[in-house]
Each structure stands twice: as structure tokens, then as C-alpha cells.
A and B are shown apart, each in its own frame.
Chain A
Amino acid sequence: MRYLRPIVVATVGLWLIVGLAYPLVMTGVSQIFFPRQANGSVVTVNGRVVGSEHVGQSFNQKAYFWGRPSATNPPDNPLGVGASNLGPTNPKLIRQIRVQLQRLRAADPGLKTSQIPISLVESSGSGIDPDITVDSALIQVARVHRATGISEPRLRNMIHQATKVPLLGFIGVRRVNVLALNLAVYRHLYQR
């Protein structure tokens, strides 16, 4: 069996290099140079961990801005990430969109269907999409204003603060991080 020796050495030797040394060294390097990112970009309030900047959370109170629908169980569950996988002619797809539409309109009767961005009623790919479009945040201002008493200009300013713009002007899209925006609302309500 003349192949045995090279097979064993190649398998074990390369395993030591890329199966063990590579991930462990990269973990060490990342912990030293990028400790915040490497540990999950944690967001804290008064030293208490309340989430990760990159992971969407489920908000369904009138006082907070809502994110996109999530197909995970429970919604926005990072352990069970995934999409609805509903095909384009599946009746369940249209039903889910209608349900989300009803929820938004029931929470704010003044809202017209034609104002609601399509992405706010269609579920995301990961189920933990942390962002919504700027329009999706703006159409919720009236509802959050009524529920919290925070003035509309102030809320629009919060949206502006939580908006991320494309890198170098072209990489990515303008978007609002829902957790960052709701933290601004939270701080205004409870930490004045």
C-alpha cells in the first residue's frame, strides 16, 4: 500500500495547518485587533447586553418601529435562521403579505396601502434582517408618535441618525438599523 503514507501525512499535516492552526490563530488575531466585531458586535444599554448590531429583533409594540417579517420560529430567532421559501405562485405567500399589510394598517388606520414599501411586508432571507428601508421607517412615524408622544420631527431626526449610507457612495443601499432606531426611542422614553 504505497499510497498509505502520503495519504496519512497529507491528511494529518494539512489538518494541523488549516484545520487547527488557521482557525485558532485567526481567532487569536481577531480577538486582539477587532475584539468588538469578533465577539458579535454587541450593543449595550447601561452595561447590559441588549442585542447585536447585526441581528434583527422582533418589535410589535406600537411604540417601536417594526422590522421586516421573519419566517423563523419564534420571529427573529438567530438559532433557526431561514426564509419562508414560499414560491412565487404559492397562495401562502400572498396570504402572508396580506396579513402583514393588515397588521400595519390596523396599528395606524391613516396608513394607505400604496404608501407601504413592498419590502416591509415581504419576509427576509435570514429571518433576522436588521434593516428596513428609509421609507419603511418614515411611514411608521405617525404611529410611534401617537404611542409615545415623541414629536414627529424628533422621530424623523432619530431615523436620520440610524440611517446608514452606501460605502463610497455606491456599495450597498440607504437603510435604517431597526435596533439602533428603537434604542434611540427607548433612551428618549426611559433615560431622559
Chain B
Amino acid sequence: MSIQTMVTWIVVLGGLAAVAKPLGIYIVRVFTFQPTWLDRPLDRLEDRLFQCMGIDRDSNMSAKEYSFSLLLTNLAWMLAAYLALRWQYHLPFNPEHLRDLKPTLAFNTAASFVTNTDWQAYSGATTMSYFSQFAVLSYLQFVAPAAGGAVGIAFLRSISGRQLGNFFVDLTLMVTRLLLPLAVIGTVLLVAQGVPETLKAYLHVHTITGLRQWIPRGPIASFESIEHLGQDGGGYFAANSASPLENPTAFSNLIEILSMGLLPLGFFYAFGAMTGKRRFAWTLIGVAGTFFIGMLALVYFPELAGNPLVNSLGLHGMVNMVGKEIRLGLGGTSLFETSSMAFATGSVVSAHDSYLPLSTLSFYLGMFLNVVFGGQGVGILNMLMFVILTTFLMGLMVGRTPEFLGKKIEAREVSIAALAFLIHPALILIGSAIAVATPLGQAGIFNPGPQGLSEIFYAFASAAANNGSALAGLKAALPFYEVILGVVAVIGRYASMIAMLFIGQSLLTKRSIPESQGTLRADTPVFAVVLLGSIVVLNALTFFPIMALAPIAEQYLMLAHHLIR
């Protein structure tokens, strides 16, 4: 392991840990309507919007109203995006005269971008007009994570003894106060590094050896910036951030990594600042951080040791560079991929299908757990779901009524939390089973053997976790996958969010129990260890069998130097 890699990791991870607190405090100030320095330029604009909506900034909704607003708004975006993509040819900013999308692809793309999944069954340069890229997809990459953040905020309000708030206010403030200012800064930094930002047509080049090259351009930097800030992960081009036009330097790579991590970490701290349990927030950051470091090591070291099948050819060096880019280095590549999987972004700087089996296992971990910070708002929700399940388990062990932030956890809350937990594996396992058992699903497989099976599992895990990365050998453009993955992404997105809103409301109406000698404290290392253990055990019980069939089987074949014919 090189010094450069170590220093890069320390700088980035240290930087993220350092901004968690100020950003978390800022988030709480914005959503508890305390003054911030952006009030002056933005207050009037927002007030105008709220006036047109006919709502007050400090109005409230019940969990049911909040859920309805979320679902109906998202449905409206999905319909609008679907229509815009179907009529792309007739809309402006289409210098390459790209045609309308077919219905299944338009559905898949709309569903996947509205649910913050950003799974892509198309190649950007040859499918999407500039208008579709910036006015449809880039727009959705703002509002989709904003909706997730809004639900996170509503839940944090409810467990800190406040009313849930108004969905439309939270949605608007997520965009104007968090995403937009950061996206502007990100765009400028990325353009300075060489990411194009133009409306001019594709560049036509005659090379010095007499070849022709068409270099696609477009408003890429503004797209790239929000793609990472929102943990969306939809790439401008098919190769996503592996493409040097999206990610031209090792520095732009770090900007994109930091962009992904800012808000998820901020939300973890905001939980502590909102409820006054700052030590508890750091405990949760510690648990998620431990998973992150573990995942990073599990990506980096197998790739560093390389593929024994290739290494036996006797070349110079042994790092697995298949599907990776030189300029980012293995250290930067591993850090990006780990972040992308941990923060549920799903953008890639390398080809996941060409990773070694153990590294692939690490990618799976990110999608299965969904709590290694996760997407903004949603990640902390999932983590608190596990906290509720863990306090319940601990309560059972010592024979006491479990408590969460001074409120009794009873049958209703535990049932909803258990249901929210189970939806995720159910979507992945049932979806994969359908695909594996039908010719339609099998037709998508690219690599032979366990890796091919893995391509299917990965697709469903990615859609259910709203991640969006792929073992891209899979033929995602088959209508079967376009439809089923779109549906999985939709269920995976809203089911657990709404479950958590109802838990929050149920806790809000309960009487607070004062802390006593008998209270199980949640901000201690003991609780952290039990929480970590519960997360591992619950997920291992659910997912170990399919992991044994796919990456683990592939690992043994590789170690045995076995090529699959």
C-alpha cells in the first residue's frame, strides 16, 4: 500500500468526519427555521413559492398526509419525466437529433431517477438530448434526493418531540438551502478540472493518424455535480465517472467522493443535534464508519493482490487493472467505489463486473446494509430502524421493556420496523428468483458461471437499495429488466420511508419516560458493538446463501485457476 493512497484516504475520510458537525448543525438550523446566512438571498424566493403553493413555512402534516404528499409528488415527477423522454425529439436543445425513447426504457429511466436509484439501461451519448440530460435527468437528481432528505427530516422532527412539518416546505428547502448552493460550488470545481459545460454540438475530430473521432459534450459538469451531491449516481455517459469527460483527474475524483459523503454524514450528525443526543449520533457514525473502513479494505486489498489467473502469465506487476483507469490509481478508485456503494450513489469509476470476487462482496455489503451512511435522510432512517430492532433484541435479552430516546418501543413499532427491514431482502430474493427461473431473465446474463448469477443478484440488490450501479455485463436494456427493476426500485424506495414516518408519529404521541438507573443507554461502546453485531447477523442470515452461490463460489474457482467454459 503506497503512502499516496494512505494520505489520500486519511485526507478524504478526515475531511468528511470534520464537516459532519458543522453541516449537521446547519441542517438543523435550516429545518427548525433558525436564521442562517443564506436567508437574505433566498427567503424572498422561497416565500414566493410557498405563497403560490398556498402553504405556510411552519405548517404541519400528519404522517399520512406527509406520505401522500411524497407519493403523489413523486408520481407527478415520474409521469412528467416519462412524457418528456417519450417526446424528446420534439423538445429543444437536441443538436444531435436524438430520437424519442421507447416506452419501457422511458418508464425504467423515469422510475429509476425519481426513486434516486439512477439505474441506466441506456448509453447517454447516443440516447439522451441535452434537454433530457439537464432539464429532466439532472432536475430529478435534485428533487429525488431532496424528497428523501425531507422524509428524514420529518422523522428526526418527530423523534425530537416536534410535529412532522410540511413535505413541500422541506422539499423546497432541501433544494434551495442544501443541494443548490453545494452544486454550484461543485460545478465550478469540476469545470476547472476539465469537465465540459457547454451547449455546443459534439466535437468532430480528425486525428494525426487520419482517424475520425466524435467527442460528445454537453452540460456535463452541472450534471456531474448534483449526481454526486444527491447520491444519485446517474452518469452522463454509459461509463459514468470512469469516463475522463466526467472525471478527468484524480482531484475531480476526490471532489466527487467528498460530494457524495457530505450530506449523508451531515444527516447523521443532524440526528444528534436535533434530538440533543450528540454522543449517540457519534456512536452511530462510529458504527457506520467501521463498516466503511471494512468495505474499503475489502475492495482494495484483493485488487492489489490481483487475479491469479492473469498473474500466472508472468507480466510486470499484479494489480487487477481490468476496467479501471490509470489516472485515478487503485487507491482513488477503491475509495470512490466504496463511497459510491456506502452512500447508495451507484456511480462508478471502473467496471464492477471485472472486479475480483471479494471486492464484489464488499459492493454487495453496501447495498445489503444500506446504513453505511446511505443516501441523505434515508441512510439515517435505515440506521434508526436497526437501532429500534436492536433495542428490542437487547430488551428481550435482559427482560426489560425496550426504550428508544425515552419512549417505550412496543409491539406496533417493532412490527413496523421488522416489516420495513424485511421488504428489502424480499425484493432482492424474490426478484432474483423470478429472473433466474425464467428465460427472459436468463437472457440478460453476460459472464459464464457464478459471475453471471451475480449479475442478476446485483441488479436486484442495486434497484432495491436505490443504488443504481451494475455488473454492467447484464443486458439491462431488455424490456424484462427495464420493467421489473423499475418496479423494484419504486417499492424499495417508498415502503421503508413511509413505515418510518408512521413509527415516528407513533413515538411522538407517547409519554416520555424519565431516564433512570434501569435505562439501557444507547450512546455507549457496548451498544455500538451490539448494534454492529445485530446488523451483521440479521443481514448474514438473509443474504449468506446467495453470496455463497455467487461471489464466494467465484472466489474458489479463481483460486483453483479454473476458467469457466
Contacts and interface: CB of A to CB of B under 8 A. Distances in A.
Interface residues of B, number: 128
Interface in B233-278: 237-239, 242-245, 248-251, 253-254
A173 B52 contact: no
A152 to B, nearest CB: 20
B203 A49 contact: yes
Contact of B250 (A3, A30, A85, A167): A167
B243 A90 contact: no
B563 A89 contact: yes
Contacts of B425: none
Contacts of A147: none
Given A54-B245, A114-B314, A173-B250, A84 B323 contact: yes
A49 B320 CA distance: 35
A86 B68 CA distance: 44
A186 B194 CA distance: 24
Secondary structure of the A contact surface, majority rule: mixed
B317 A125 contact: no
A132 B355 CA distance: 20
Interface string A9-31: 11101110111101100110111
Contacts, number: 377
A89 B558 contact: yes
Contacts of B11: 170
Given A116-B315, A127-B239, A87 B447 contact: yes
Residue of B183, B310, B554 contacting most chain A CB atoms (<10 Å): B310
Closest 8 CB pairs of A and B: A172-B250, A19-B139, A83-B351, A125-B242, A87-B451, A85-B473, A30-B197, A87-B447
Given A17-B176, A26-B197, A90-B448, 10 more contacts: A7-B76, A14-B142, A34-B197, A39-B198, A40-B198, A76-B213, A82-B472, A83-B323, A85-B354, A85-B447
Interface of B: 3-4, 7-8, 11, 45, 49, 52-55, 68-69, 72-73, 76-77, 80, 123, 125-126, 134-136, 138-139, 142-143, 168, 171-172, 175-176, 179-180, 183-184, 187-188, 191-200, 202-209, 211, 213-217, 219, 221-223, 226, 237-239, 242-245, 248-251, 253-254, 306-307, 309-310, 313-329, 332, 348-351, 353-357, 446-449, 451-452, 471-473, 554, 557-558, 562-565
23 contacts: A7-B69, A18-B179, A26-B219, A29-B188, A34-B192, A37-B194, A41-B196, A50-B207, A51-B215, A52-B245, A79-B125, A80-B126, A81-B237, A82-B238, A83-B323, A88-B451, A94-B310, A97-B313, A113-B315, A122-B322, A172-B249, A172-B253, A175-B327
